[in-house]
Amino acid sequence: MWAFDFDGTLSHLVPDRHAAALDPECEDMLRDLSADTSQVVAVTSSRTLEDLKSRVSVDNVILSGSSGLEWWVPGGHWIGPNGRARERLSKERKRIVPGLMKVEQIPGVEVEDKTWSAAVHFRHVAQEDRLLVSRELENLRTNHGIALHYGPDVAEIQFIPESNKKLAVQTLVKLFGSAYSSRDIVYAGDDQNDALAMRWVLERKGIVYVVGDRISVNGANVVESPTALARAVRKRFARTQAMGGDWSASHE
Indicate if 246 and 169 belong to the same structural domain: yes
Residue with more model confidence, 38 or 10: 10
Tally of domains within the chain: 2
Indicate if 42 and 100 belong to the same structural domain: no
Indicate if 222 and 182 belong to the same structural domain: yes
Predicted TM-score of the model (pTM): 0.87
pLDDT digits (tens, 9 = 90+) for 108-143: 999 999 999 999 999 999 999 999 999 999 999 998
Asked if residue 198 lies in contact with residue 189, where contact means CB atoms within 8 angstroms, the answer is yes
The total number of residues written for the chain in this structure: 252
End-to-end, the C-alpha distance of the chain in Å comes to 17
Query: Would you say the C-alpha torsion 51, 56, 62, 67 has a positive or negative sign?
Result: negative
User: Which residues are registered as beta bridge partners of 111?
Assistant: 120
Domain assignment of residue 96, given as a range: 84-158
Q: Is residue 220 pLDDT above 60, yes or no?
A: yes
Name residue 30's amino acid.
L
pLDDT digits (tens, 9 = 90+) for 43-65: 999 999 999 999 999 999 999 99
Q: Is residue 250 pLDDT above 70, yes or no?
A: no
Indicate if 182 and 116 belong to the same structural domain: no
CATH code at 112? 3.30.70.1020
Name residue 145's amino acid.
G
